[in-house]
Chain A
């Protein structure tokens, strides 16, 4: 199954189709968290449009051969936002929708935080913030040593970049001119306890990444057409590492979760769940 070097979707640039996938994933995210009565819906809903566009139009991966050695790597460094990852993997056929019912359940492939030992299609065992970019750097350097064109993509949260180790990795990636390392920062403005602005100001993220020698692109993280275009731009950078700063809304798509720190790591109750299913177009009002 040697396909072209991009895109899981035949009609990769059918924006409406990507949007529909993202909608379905949002439904699954809320279902998983509601069923488990635990988990992280806010950051899953903020990241999902980006993930769908990445897997749909850029990543060279094989759902039926998730460990294919020459696949592009994807690292969900914000590993607690696992419902988004699992929903995506199910929608693209890496795992089954039945598997989604195992989220946070004993013996399930969908561990609380994404885990490469448990779930097909997961490239790194995350869950401790600030680790994924370094791991992605190692994957990218390995590709270079192999003479392969494969790339490593790393999704981080904006609160996550408060971890100092992120900047060790950022500095090293530039030093080694690792053009096949790509980062996405899900800038939703909220972290565990409160808004980032309250917890630890992030200042000018674009200027900071640029000062570390990275190519910086910004995008509205919920405009699918813009995301597809931005990802292609980031993907094309090859002389230095590149980051996409995506402005997002935490909890996007579920009104009471949107921009609400309470839903960083909390599950909806039954009434809230019904509301979400209506708002996401899954059931009639």
Chain B
């Protein structure tokens, strides 16, 4: 790991790099400074559309642009994308229009704004929409690369980014970052830890702690929650026989839910889900929130042992 950066910065940089494609347009709902789409706005104001504080209109304006041949990238806070969920459902996903929605400041890691700003259900709700790709990258590099890949992606998408800095993981490993493919960090045979977003670096730390106890984990960054890399899950089950998922999101319906569904339908195996228990957040610093919610390195390591005990 070399340095820290926020995934939302990766989103902003990607938009700027995508600007040479004149199909790319950017839509904002008064949070461009925060989601980092303002990097694009400053360079290309003619292709940036301010929608004011109006997320529902933003999603469908993007749909109209997509239906007219443009590739719109719309962003706001993850929590406020949810206000436009039905627009995403009926006006974007149903007609299959290639609108790319980014929700920044996702999860409890967002911190001191408190529960009103901490989206813990975004991954779950977008995952239910047919044909919508759902991603939650772990670092700035992978966010930049995955966002850039969206420009030619055949379906609409939702990408969650985070407010606060997380360790850089993929400098020099850029080739491994591909939509729909989990990234394998280690290949231990005792337990599989499948994580996304801010929990990937926690999972890696947990794997180090477990290694000190002689427990060897396979750690995977499952940045794409839908479509889930089922082949990789199957391979982990075959190798390890048990799994842990780790996410800064409700234990209901997100990465843990997706993996549980896959296991139930394919190769049943013990699964421990580390995530936000069925409750809302509160005001606290990012790391404090992870402690409150049971999302620390120690929580992941403990879950690994529980999973192994159930094997």
Q: Is the CB of A138 within 8 A of B64?
A: yes
Describe B's contact surface by its main secondary structure.
helix
Across the interface, A135 reaches (CB within 8 A) one of B47, B67, B94, namely B67
B residues within 8 A CB of A57? none
B residues within 8 A CB of A135? 60-61, 63-64, 67, 91
Does A123 lie at the interface of the complex (its beta carbon under 8 Å from any beta carbon of B)?
Answer: yes
**Total CB contacts across the A-B interface at under 8 A:** 108
Q: Is the CB of B25 within 8 A of A145?
A: yes
- Mark the stretch among A34-42, A97-105, A126-134, A235-243 that contacts chain B: A126-134
Shortest Cβ gap from B97 to chain A (Å): 9
Shortest Cβ gap from A277 to chain B (Å): 35
Q: Is the CB of A125 within 8 A of B94?
A: yes
Interface size class of B (residues with CB under 8 A): 20 to 34
Q: Is the CB of A139 within 8 A of B95?
A: no
Q: Is the CB of B61 within 8 A of A175?
A: no
In the complex, what residue of chain A is closest to B72 when comparing beta carbons?
Answer: A138
Across the interface, B65 reaches (CB within 8 A) one of A131, A138, A175, namely A138
Q: Is the CB of B54 within 8 A of A171?
A: yes
Q: Is the CB of A124 within 8 A of B61?
A: no
A residues within 8 A CB of B87? 131, 134, 165
A residues within 8 A CB of B46? 145
In the complex, what residue of chain B is closest to A176 when comparing beta carbons?
Answer: B49
Does B186 lie at the interface of the complex (its beta carbon under 8 Å from any beta carbon of A)?
Answer: no
Across the interface, B56 reaches (CB within 8 A) one of A125, A136, A141, A168, namely A168
Question: Which of A115, A128, A134 gathers the greatest number of chain B CB atoms within 10 Å?
Answer: A134
Q: How far is the CA of A123 from the CA of B70 in the complex (A)?
A: 15
A residues within 8 A CB of B56? 130, 134, 164-165, 168
Interface size class of A (residues with CB under 8 A): 20 to 34
Q: Is the CB of A145 within 8 A of B47?
A: yes
Q: How far is the CA of A138 from the CA of B87 in the complex (A)?
A: 14
Q: Is the CB of B54 within 8 A of A168?
A: yes
Known contacts A141-B49, A168-B54: A131-B68 contact under CB 8 Å? no
A residues within 8 A CB of B86? 128
Q: Is the CB of A125 within 8 A of B68?
A: no
Q: Is the CB of B61 within 8 A of A141?
A: yes
Across the interface, A142 reaches (CB within 8 A) one of B52, B59, B64, B96, namely B64
Q: Is the CB of A125 within 8 A of B64?
A: no
Across the interface, B62 reaches (CB within 8 A) one of A136, A138, A140, A145, namely A138
B residues within 8 A CB of A175? 50, 52
Complex A-B, nearest 3 residue pairs according to Cβ-Cβ distance, in ascending order: A138-B64, A142-B68, A134-B60
Chain A contacts to B: CB under 8 angstroms: 69, 73, 115-117, 123-125, 127-128, 130-131, 134-143, 145-146, 152, 164-165, 168-169, 171-172, 175-176
